[in-house]
């Protein structure tokens, strides 16, 4: 089969070869016959006769080269192409339907592939595993997911019977300079075996080597990412040996990593890689690299050849249990309750395959992207149904042709194949155009993704995987759209088609009605889905973050990264705060240690001492703020007071004197009790000392994101870094330059980060919801349009079919409106049965999107009612045009026409 | 041309005959035709028209290899020769044929006993 396909491409050469071969045969034969005494003309005749017809041999040999089937199919394709060119409006409608379907599916698939499926460009990505701790680590930590300590990574690296190597990594933001200004940059802190275990080499110089993270601070080196080298250093060839400054700390560049490698997190491309030994410089004030009870790094390993994930996981447990016991005896193991100690000792090691690395972006997008992929697949299905319907319509117009061909002896299989060739050709044309349009769609899609994602992380280009997908989708679409028409041909009766006049075969109509019904059902699911996502976004927007966002601007300052000591840093923050408050552009200003609405928070369980001592059953979100924060944000103090000078601690005093908790905190833990005067503290162990007095209660507002309602406790601000919140006079955007100038006037070299309005911050925190609502809304509109076109087509056809019948009815005295009703009733039957089929589908699919919804159930009656209303009225609207035409039928014309 | 009464070649044996002929030496189509003609004169009747489709079929199956070479008359002709898998195929067909013929003979012997 393959060889025959290949032959198709060199058929010219084969033809001329056969020609020469046969000519040689004839000439030799003629000469031989002449030698035996025949005259020249007679010899030629005799030779040709013996051979039995050159043309016939050629045909037979061609059949062998290409196989009969393939040859006929190429004729079919040629015939299809010709007939399509003759019916441009049909062709354009069909191709356009598929361009929409295939283009949308391919574009979404591009993101699915890049974010969810694509393996890292490393050696044997399939043997990479993520190592995680299931259970209580009895540890503090910071960072996102799957965190463990640095020492345990080193311990795991020694389990050589399972692992070729185990490395760890953590992302952080530093102030980075290559000689000029400091800029915030994402860097990856890694153990020194990171590159060897991944199997990633240098593009220049060397990558990190095994002793680069020996002693803390011993080896101040850095490896640049290829992108950073190209964009920030112009790809300078002499870059090895130069210095970069990380938070003012000089590091020697030893090399540039391979160009294809962009770290192991698809959403976050690090600028540089640093060995763990200088984590104290990368994260100012961090001195717990060797602490076993500080979890902050993801640990990944490469399994040995021949060791399966299950074997490794089972084999590690005895060693791990011993390690847990040993840990409890180590100095510095925290004092914890017996129950928690048991949870710690019950912990286990869990391995998961991680050929795509570790990514927060993937975690956030995995469900939304699959939902959108499902939506576009349904859209593609709808487009196929549409093309099916169009083909059936065309099939009825071609009745005579097909009938004649059947009568002349063409087999039904042969005709079915002709129709399949038709639909494949249309689908490939649609696929080609759809793929060409995909990059534009992908670029739009990327704009919906979290904007923290590095611009280099995802690309809108077309690669071979995407082409393969688009091709497969096109062929599938072609076969699907050709199925119904081919089946129709298989069923038709030859006699009736010849007896009937052109365009009156009735069999196709029922099938077309079934198709339209299916379209309505699919459209219902998409429109309901879009309605649910819209309501979710609407509910979140309506709820808001719980504070007034208009004319509010925020930006971050990290003084330690700029070489300040903690106490100097705190003075710097206060000076900037002071300067902003005295500036004419601000109405109010305050500082919070951690920014709001970024998805992250400082959190910990707490101990509460009211009548009796209790521990919170889950983490409380914590923050520290300067006096005036709540007023600046427009957050109400419901009881008690804001922070003021009473809360300032004396020199040398540790901890906080006072705290303000939110309503949710009171509701969950202090129900019915006066919260003021209750004492609380961070942590839940037996050594926790609840000595912080609750002095106020604030109204609820969003910390991590708008979806989440959480218990919160705020402390007075004494830190060295934080996020400024400024209520602006005038338009927020115009204040940006003034704010920069104010910070420069205090410290000209201090970089600020994330300067933006709070309205924008709200938008960003909702970008997944925006994406789902906008895209599913767009896709379902297209779906509705496609099914309306289908409905309209069938109804127009039905009216043409029944012209005579309607004419007679009218002649016999039927009213015009009854003619209209005749058509509308037909359309309504399809719409209603489509809805009837679609509703159970909605019910079944609802559970899959539940986690993406907010404040609305998958079976929300309002959404479903509106959808049904929209479908019915749109369906009736589409049917109204043919219905109107039916009512305008002139009885005498209709009868004469016959 | 009709020297003696001949019976038409049994279905499917043409391929085997061609393989056998080409196994002796590389030959062009006309050469194979001449050899077939010699056989035809004495035993069976081969339709020359089915020769070229058969050659091309055997080439596509990979049992024959073809190359353009100078022929005995000095002109370029397409010579066919047996490939390794073609040789295997020929041996297999000979074996099958022998078993079939033997079996048929056995049945006839039974009948005449």
Give the side-chain half-sphere CA count within 13 A for B46: 24
Token reading at A459:
């690309």
Output the furthest CA–CA distance in chain A (Å, rounded).
Answer: 132
Contacts with A10 from chain B: Cβ below 8 Å: none
Distance of alpha carbon A504 from alpha carbon A514, whole angstroms = 19
Average pLDDT, chain B: 82
**Secondary structure class of A331 (helix, strand, coil):** coil
DSSP letter, residue A330: S
Which residues partner with B81 through β-bridges?
B65
Chain B positions touching A53 (Cβ under 8 A) are: 49
A40 Cα to chain B: minimum distance (Å): 19
Beta partners for residue A658, in sequence order? A693
Can you give the pLDDT at residue B11? 65
Does B48 contact A at CB distance below 8 Å?
yes
Nearest residue to B100 (alpha-carbon basis) of B108, B89, B88? B108
- Separation of alpha carbons A461 and A488, rounded Å: 41
pLDDT digits (tens, 9 = 90+) for B20-29: 989 888 888 8
Question: CA–CA distance from A88 to each of A94, A363, A364, A388 (Å)?
Answer: 10, 46, 45, 17
Selected residue with higher pLDDT from A450 and B94: B94
Q: Which pair of tokens denotes residue B31? A: 């050469």
Look-up: residue for tokens 């002649």?
Answer: A811
Residue A748: DSSP 8-state? T
- Report the alpha-carbon distance of residue A223 to residue A254 in Å, rounded: 6
DSSP H helices, A36-86, are 40-51, 54-66, 68-86
Instruction: Please tell me the distance in Å from B94's CA to the nearest CA on chain A.
Output: 24
The 10 Å Cβ neighbour count of residue A335 is 9
How many other CB atoms are found less than 10 A from the CB of residue B99? 10
| A17:B78 CB<8 A | yes
Domains (range + CATH), chain B: 7-112 (1.10.10.10)
Tokens of A499: 């007896």
Q: Do A64 and B75 touch (CB under 8 A)?
A: no
| Dihedral over alpha carbons A590, A592, A596, A598 (to 10 degrees) | 130
From A17, A21, A52, residue closest to B47, measured CB to CB = A52
- The answer to whether the beta carbons of residues A56 and B49 sit under 8 Å apart is yes
**The pLDDT of residue A505:** 47
User: With contacts defined as CB-CB under 8 Å, which chain A residues touch B56?
Assistant: 18, 61, 64-65
Tens of pLDDT, residues B54-85? 888 888 888 999 888 888 888 888 899 999 99
> Are A105 and A379 spatial neighbours (Cβ–Cβ below 8 Å)?
yes
Question: What local confidence, expressed as pLDDT, does residue B1 receive?
Answer: 41
The answer to whether the Cβ–Cβ distance between A21 and B47 falls below 8 Å is no
In angstroms, the CA A814 to CA A816 distance is: 7
The pLDDT assigned to A625 comes to 96
Tokens matching residue A112: 């699915």
Question: In this predicted complex, what is the ipTM?
Answer: 0.82
Structure tokens at A823: 């058509």
Pairing of strands A221-224, A249-257: parallel
B97 CB within 8 Å of a chain A CB:
no
DSSP letters of A469-483? HHHHHHHHHHHHHHH
**What angle separates helix A360-397 from helix A399-407, to the nearest 10 degrees?**
70
For A20, which residue in chain B has the nearest alpha carbon? Answer: B77
The packing angle between helices A88-111 and A68-86, to 10°, is: 110
Q: Which long-range contacts does A429-433 make (Cβ < 8 Å, 24+ apart)? A: A429/A95, A429/A98, A430/A94, A430/A95, A430/A96, A430/A97, A430/A98, A430/A99, A430/A101, A430/A102, A430/A383, A430/A474, A430/A477, A431/A98, A431/A102, A431/A470, A431/A471, A431/A473, A431/A474, A431/A477, A432/A474, A433/A95, A433/A99, A433/A103
**Bridging pattern class, strands A679-682 and A712-716:** unpaired
Would you place residue B6 in the very low, low, confident or very high pLDDT band (cuts 50, 70, 90)?
Answer: low
Q: Which of A378, A367, A397, A359 is nearest to A101 (CA)?
A: A378
**What φ, ψ does residue A713 adopt, rounded to 5°?**
-135, 130
CA dist., res. A55 & res. A48, Å (int): 11
Instruction: Verify whether the Cβ–Cβ distance B60 to A60 is below 8 Å.
Output: no
For A874, the enclosing helix (H) or strand (E) is: helix A861-887
Q: Kindly determine whether residue A4 and residue B60, on different chains, have CB atoms separated by under 8 Å.
A: yes
Residues of chain A with confidence (pLDDT) below 50 = 501-506
Task: In whole angstroms, give the CA distance from residue A553 to residue A576.
Answer: 15
Per DSSP bridges, beta strands A606-609 and A679-682 are antiparallel
Is B60 at the interface with chain A, CB within 8 A? yes
Residues 6+ apart with CB under 8 A from A316: A156, A159, A162, A349, A351
Bridge partners, residue A49, by sequence = none
Rounded to whole angstroms, how far apart are CA atoms A187 and A268?
A: 9
What pLDDT, in 10s, does the model give residues A749-780? Answer: 888 888 999 998 998 889 889 989 999 999 99
Torsion over CA of A490, A494, A498 and A502, rounded to 10 degrees?
A: -10
- For residue B77, give the nearest of A18, A24, A53 by CB distance: A24
| The predicted structure's pLDDT at residue A172 | 92
For residue A253, the SS3 value is strand
């Amino acid at each position: 089969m393959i060889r025959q396909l290949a032959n198709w491409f060199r058929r010219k050469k084969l033809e001329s070869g056969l020609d020469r071969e046969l000519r040689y045969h004839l000439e030799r034969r003629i000469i031989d016959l002449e030698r035996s005494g025949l005259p020249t003309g007679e010899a030629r005749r005799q030779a040709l006769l013996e051979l039995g017809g050159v043309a016939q041999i050629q045909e037979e040999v061609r059949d062998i080269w290409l196989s009969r089937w393939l040859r006929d199919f190429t004729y079919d394709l040629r015939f299809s192409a010709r007939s399509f060119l003759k019916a441009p409006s049909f062709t354009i409608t069909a191709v356009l339907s598929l361009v929409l379907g295939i283009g949308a599916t391919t574009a979404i698939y591009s993101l699915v592939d890049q974010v969810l499926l694509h393996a890292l460009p490393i050696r044997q990505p399939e043997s990479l595993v993520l190592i995680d701790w299931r259970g209580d680590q009895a540890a503090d930590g910071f960072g996102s997911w799957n965190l463990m300590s640095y020492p345990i990574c080193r311990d795991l690296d020694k389990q050589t019977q399972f692992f070729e190597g185990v490395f760890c990594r953590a992302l952080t933001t530093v102030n980075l300079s290559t000689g000029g200004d400091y800029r915030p940059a994402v860097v990856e802190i890694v153990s020194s075996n990171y590159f060897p275990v991944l199997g990633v080499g240098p593009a220049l110089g060397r990558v990190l080597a095994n002793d680069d993270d020996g002693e803390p601070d011993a080896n101040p080196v850095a490896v640049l990412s290829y992108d950073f080298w190209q964009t920030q250093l112009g790809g300078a060839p002499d870059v090895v040996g130069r210095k970069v400054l990380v938070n003012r700390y000089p590091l020697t560049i030893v090399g540039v990593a391979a160009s294809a490698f962009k770290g192991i997190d698809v959403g976050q491309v690090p600028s540089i890689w640093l060995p763990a030994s200088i984590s104290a410089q990368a994260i100012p004030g961090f001195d717990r690299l060797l602490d076993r009870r500080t979890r902050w790094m993801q640990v990944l390993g490469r399994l040995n050849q021949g060791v399966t994930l299950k074997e490794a996981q089972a084999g590690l447990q005895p060693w791990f249990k011993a390690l847990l016991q040993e840990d409890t005896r180590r100095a510095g193991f925290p004092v914890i309750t017996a129950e928690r100690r048991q949870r710690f000792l019950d912990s286990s090691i869990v391995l998961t395959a991680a050929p795509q690395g570790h990514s927060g972006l993937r975690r956030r997008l995995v469900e939304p992207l699959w939902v959108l992929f499902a939506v576009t697949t349904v859209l593609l299905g709808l487009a196929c149904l549409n093309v099916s319907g169009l083909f059936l319509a065309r099939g009825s117009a071609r009745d005579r042709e097909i009938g004649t061909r059947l009568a002349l002896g063409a087999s039904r299989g042969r005709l079915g194949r002709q129709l399949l060739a038709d639909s494949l050709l249309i689908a490939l044309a649609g696929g080609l155009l759809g793929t060409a349009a995909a990059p534009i769609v992908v670029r739009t899609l990327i704009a919906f993704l979290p904007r923290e994602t590095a611009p280099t992380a995802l690309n809108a280009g077309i690669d071979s995987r995407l082409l393969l997908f688009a091709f497969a989708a096109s062929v599938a679409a072609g076969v699907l759209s050709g199925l119904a028409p081919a089946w129709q041909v298989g069923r038709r009766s030859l006699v009736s088609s010849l007896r009937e006049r052109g365009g009156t075969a009735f069999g196709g109509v029922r099938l077309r009605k079934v198709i339209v019904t299916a379209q309505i059902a699919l459209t219902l699911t998409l429109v309901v889905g879009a309605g649910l996502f819209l309501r979710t976004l609407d509910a979140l927007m309506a709820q808001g973050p719980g504070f007034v966002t208009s004319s509010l601007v925020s930006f971050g300052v990290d003084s330690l990264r700029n070489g300040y000591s903690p106490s100097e840093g705190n003075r710097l923050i206060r000076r900037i705060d002071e300067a902003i408050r005295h500036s004419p552009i601000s109405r109010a200003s305050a500082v919070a240690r951690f920014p709001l609405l970024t998805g992250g928070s400082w959190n910990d369980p707490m101990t509460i001492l009211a009548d009796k001592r209790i521990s919170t059953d889950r983490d409380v979100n914590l923050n520290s703020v300067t006096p005036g924060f709540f007023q600046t944000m427009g957050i109400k103090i419901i009881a008690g007071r804001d922070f003021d000078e009473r809360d300032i601690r004396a020199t040398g005093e540790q901890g906080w004197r006072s705290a303000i908790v939110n309503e949710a905190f009171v509701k969950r833990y202090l129900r019915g009790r006066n919260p003021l005067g209750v004492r609380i503290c961070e942590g839940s162990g037996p050594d926790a000392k609840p000595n912080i007095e609750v002095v106020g209660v604030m109204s609820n507002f969003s910390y991590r994101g708008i979806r989440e309602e959480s218990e919160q406790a705020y402390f007075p601000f004494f830190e060295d870094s934080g996020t400024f919140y400024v209520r602006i006079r005038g338009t927020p955007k115009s204040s940006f330059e003034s704010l920069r100038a104010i910070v420069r006037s205090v410290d000209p070299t201090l970089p600020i980060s994330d300067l933006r309005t709070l309205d924008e911050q709200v938008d960003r925190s909702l970008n997944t919801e925006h994406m789902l609502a906008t895209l599913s809304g767009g896709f379902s509109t297209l779906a509705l349009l496609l099914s309306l076109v289908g409905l309209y087509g069938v109804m127009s056809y039905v009216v043409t079919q029944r012209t005579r019948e309607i004419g007679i009815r009218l002649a016999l005295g039927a009213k015009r409106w009854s003619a209209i009703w005749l058509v509308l009733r037909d359309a309504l039957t399809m719409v209603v049965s489509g809805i009837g089929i679609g509703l159970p589908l909605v019910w079944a699919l609802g559970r899959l999107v539940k986690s993406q919804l907010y404040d609305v159930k998958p079976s929300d009656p309002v959404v479903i009612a509106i959808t049904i209303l929209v479908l019915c009225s749109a369906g009736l609207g589409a049917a109204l045009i043919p219905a109107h035409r039916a009512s305008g039928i002139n009885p005498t014309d209709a009868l004469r026409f016959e | 041309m009709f020297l003696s009464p001949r019976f038409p070649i049994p279905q499917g044996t043409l391929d085997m005959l061609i393989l056998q002929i080409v196994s002796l030496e590389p030959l062009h189509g006309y050469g194979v035709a001449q050899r077939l003609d010699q056989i035809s004169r004495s035993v069976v009747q081969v339709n020359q028209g089915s020769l070229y489709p058969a050659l091309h079929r055997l080439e596509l199956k990979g049992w024959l290899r073809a190359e353009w070479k100078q022929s005995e008359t000095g002109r370029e002709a397409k010579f066919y020769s047996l490939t390794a898998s073609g040789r295997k195929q020929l041996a297999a067909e000979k074996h099958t044929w022998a078993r079939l013929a033997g079996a048929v003979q056995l049945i006839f012997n039974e009948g005449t006993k």
